[in-house]
Structure 1
Amino acid sequence: MAVNVVEIIDRSRMSAVQIRIVAICAAVLIVDGFDAQALGFAIPSMSKDWTVSPSAFTTAATVGVAGLLVGSLLVGALSDRWGRRPVTLVGLGVIVLTMFLTAGVTTMGWLIVLRFFTSVAVGALTPNLIALVSEYSPQRRRMFTVAIAISGFSLGGVIGGFLAAWLIPATHWRGVFVAGGILTLIVAIAMLVGVPESVRFLTMAGRQAAVGRIMARIDPLRPAQEGTFTLLEEKTARASVGALFQHGRGVVTGLIWLTFFMSLLVLYFGANWLPTILAGAGFTPTNALIGTSIFNIAMMIGALLSGLTADRLRRPAILVSAAFAGAFVVFAILPLFGGMPVLLLVALCVAGFFVQAGQASLAAFVGGLYPTSIRATGLGWGFGAGRVGSIVGPLVGGLLMAASFGAVTILSLLAIPAAVAALAVGAVGLRRRGTGAEVGAPGSDEGAVVVSDDATDGSTSLPRP
């Protein structure tokens, strides 16, 4: 008898092993958030130590963003071929090595090289871990668990700022990178010991015995030898970007990339220029930094609450679109708060809440758009498009400031990308209306991927519907 592993996960309670997987993946992303921003924390101390201007680190910071883009586009897809777990462990190993080496670097050239490879590994891990969390979460909790994982990256930046403020006076800038290497090693060990391979990937690879052991821990009441494990979803020939445009997925994929681009443009615009813009709006430098921290906290709250809400909706695209639409409205009315710094900050926190709510829910929503064989590829290229937006956002902000636009005017212009994101993801929801649940969900009309212990090459058979 065929047993659909997705159906078992969806109908079961969150078991201890699933909770542990989500917790460890979130911990990895917290540390990744710290590692990604470590150079930013260290630059003031490094510039004094090396007797150079902080602007001398521009190239090192830029290649860090480029590395995140390369990791999202290229390395994330490898997990669809080799598995989520080995790619994650290799990425963590690269980060441990490069962080420790960075602590001993003495030249700008080596700093640039090491930051690039650190960022490539960090960029690859994000879509991989989101795919893993998505595949181990029941559909009724999936948006929330993915939101928890995504919030980890932002939380890593918040915690890292406080940690760096304590470390740098005692150990100078090198302590930041040593701490990052140690923390990454700890979560790598936790990943090695506590997180199994994706059960969907194992099913598609024909590893029935391994699937059986994991499913017995997720659903202990199910007989251990009950039937053959299957996936009711399409199996693509190979994990490639071309597969994202096959079988009618082309328009949806393009709209998803556009949404990622616009949402991360807004987020990174704020991350890079918000303290400066708030100072221009009447805040003292200290209060501008505090306001930026409050803005980040509002974004994390938005991510978590959106996950809780989205799990109760049959059409999560509606929530994602509504969140970006809410951000559009708030950004558009910001000129009403000109000359009122406190109200301006409150409005910005509300806008940040909506943007991050949309971004977090978007990642979980996209995880359900693609079958297991290309899920990490789809997420990786989506985040890759977003990384392009994360580069464009700060550049646009710099150009607007150089053109002497007012602080409130600059912020209100963010209504444009927020509106585009809302329309794009709304169009995805309209295209998918009437198509049913995500691929692999109970009741899906996709063909069943059936694998057996005899499969040694990872191949599967796809019966006709």
Structure 2
Amino acid sequence: MEVSAKSLIDQRPISRLQYATIVICFLMNMLDGMDVMVISYAAPAIAKSWSVSPEALGIVFSAGLFGMTFGALFLAPYADHIGRKSMILLSAAIMGISIYLTSLSASIIPLIAFRFISGLGIGSMLASTAALASEYTPNKTRDFWVSFVISGYPVGAVLSGLVAAKVIPASGWQTMFQIAGVATFLALPLIQFFLTESLDFYLKSQPHLALEKANSILAKMSHTLVDTLPNKPAKRTGIPIKSLLEDEYKLPTIQLWVALFLAFATLYFLTSWIPKLATNAGLPIELAIYAGTVFNVGAFFGITMQGYFSSLFGLKKTIGIFLIMTGVVMASFQLFMGSSTLLLVFALLGFGIQGGFVGLYAVAARMYPTEFRTTGVGWSIGIGRLGGIIGPAVGGVLIGMGLSMVTNFLIYAVPTIFAGIMTMYISSKKIS
């Protein structure tokens, strides 16, 4: 008897094994959010302690972004060869070691190096958890669960911010990196003993002992065991990265990359400049500090609601509306200047832009087959992060030219709306 992982998971209620996979992937993305944001929370203390210039700190931030981009582009694709679980373990180990060692940095150079290395793990972690979540969830609710797993990212960012606010003034920025490193290390046994490798990976990629391992998973899911593996899909020629731009995948891949590049550019413009944007827009400094937290709280609700609506109305339409509405809010930002509703506007921006761009991860997870799914998700994230590198830099130039916040928001509303329109026209038949 042969079995299709897709039909098995689509036709049966979600098992405890599947829920455990979802929860662990969510927790891994919480660690991702914590490990990304810890440098932002520590930056003022580092600058004061070392008398570091804003330009030097900018290089530290960029090193982390470059690391995440390289991790998504070049490390994550190995999950299609060694398995999702192995890559998640490797990513957590890289993150834990490099983030803990960051606390021992005594100058800017090792800080830059450790941020780049930790970025490698962060970039590959996000792609691997998205792929694994998509392979263990039913077709009907897959978009919700993939989005839910990635919503761990802003949750980790918010919680680590609350911890940093207490720890850094009392114990120094080094202690915050030690806490983040130890927390990531503690995840390793959780991954090893409670996370299950993708059943789809065993059935289609068929590594050593694939039949025994697949039957072990089937037994835990209370399903009939199989005697033989299904016919192995024909091996695609060339490297998996090349497969993204071949045949039926070429046009939708380019459309997805353009949408992600533009959405990431706006997202990182907002996250990099929100405290300054908030004070310039008339918020007192005490409330401006909370603008980033409010943005991430909005993001969590945006991501989960987007996943829910995508399951009902389809991914392309839902994401398109989220991004277009975000662009409209940005274009009408002048209406809220100096208003008491400004924090609510930042929450709405987090809701829309993060809900929209995370939905594009679910598009990538649906669009590509198991054989190169993590490669597809990783390259989508990597191309998006290039927008994330360029977006804040262009914003800095525009602000330096003396353009007002209202004008900046108006400028960045254009790529946001265009990303929404592009998403609606992604030509893959696998995306609703």
**How would you bin the TM-score normalised by the shorter chain?**
over 0.9
Secondary structure of the 2:3 match is: strand
5 Å matches for 1:72-91? 72-91=72-91
> Are 2:31 and 1:31 equivalent residues in the alignment?
yes
Mapped to 2, the partners of 1:233 and 1:422 lie a distance apart of 34
The aligned amino acid for 2:245 is F
5 Å matches for 1:201-220? 201-206=201-206, 207-218=210-221, 220=222
CA RMSD, Structure 1 to Structure 2 (Å): 2.0
Mapped to 1, the partners of 2:235 and 2:306 lie a distance apart of 31
> Does the 8 Å contact 2:204/2:232 carry over to 1?
no
1:100–1:68: structure 2 CA closer, same or farther, 3 Å change rule? same
Query: Structure 1: any 5+ residue segments left out of the alignment?
Result: 439-465
> Are 2:350 and 1:352 equivalent residues in the alignment?
yes
| Cα deviation code 1:222-252 (max 9, x no counterpart) | 3234x54548977534652110011221111
Mapped to 1, the partners of 2:108 and 2:229 lie a distance apart of 53
| Cα deviation code 1:293-343 (max 9, x no counterpart) | 222211211100111121223x321211122122222223333x0544234
1:215–1:235: structure 2 CA closer, same or farther, 3 Å change rule? farther
Mapped to 2, the partners of 1:80 and 1:249 lie a distance apart of 17
Question: What residue number does 2:21 align with?
Answer: 21
Mapped to 2, the partners of 1:165 and 1:246 lie a distance apart of 49
Query: Structure 2: any 5+ residue segments left out of the alignment?
Result: none
How many residue pairs match? The answer is: 429
Question: What residue number does 2:137 align with?
Answer: 137
1:338–1:34: structure 2 CA closer, same or farther, 3 Å change rule? closer
1:217–1:312: structure 2 CA closer, same or farther, 3 Å change rule? farther
1:426–1:437: structure 2 CA closer, same or farther, 3 Å change rule? closer
Mapped to 1, the partners of 2:175 and 2:39 lie a distance apart of 12
Mapped to 1, the partners of 2:169 and 2:343 lie a distance apart of 31
- What's the TM-score, normalizing by structure 2? 0.94
Question: What residue number does 1:452 align with?
Answer: none
Question: What residue number does 1:362 align with?
Answer: 360
Mapped to 2, the partners of 1:230 and 1:317 lie a distance apart of 32
Mapped to 2, the partners of 1:306 and 1:247 lie a distance apart of 30
The percent identity for this pair of structures is 27
Question: What residue number does 1:386 align with?
Answer: 384
The aligned amino acid for 1:326 is M
> Does the 8 Å contact 2:294/2:346 carry over to 1?
no
Mapped to 2, the partners of 1:4 and 1:231 lie a distance apart of 11
Range that drifts further, 398-407 or 343-352: 343-352
Mapped to 1, the partners of 2:230 and 2:285 lie a distance apart of 58
Question: What residue number does 1:249 align with?
Answer: 249
Mapped to 1, the partners of 2:430 and 2:116 lie a distance apart of 42
1:231–1:257: structure 2 CA closer, same or farther, 3 Å change rule? farther
The aligned amino acid for 2:409 is L
| Cα deviation code 1:10-41 (max 9, x no counterpart) | 11111111111111111111112111222222
The aligned amino acid for 1:85 is K
| Cα deviation code 1:232-286 (max 9, x no counterpart) | 9775346521100112211111111011111111111110112111211111111
> Does the 8 Å contact 1:6/1:231 carry over to 2?
no
The aligned amino acid for 2:247 is H
Mapped to 2, the partners of 1:436 and 1:95 lie a distance apart of 34
> Does the 8 Å contact 2:42/2:173 carry over to 1?
yes
> Does the 8 Å contact 1:334/1:408 carry over to 2?
yes
Query: Which of these residues, 419, 422, 431, is aligned with residue 421 of structure 1?
Result: 419
> Does the 8 Å contact 1:4/1:232 carry over to 2?
no
The aligned amino acid for 1:106 is A
The aligned amino acid for 1:394 is P
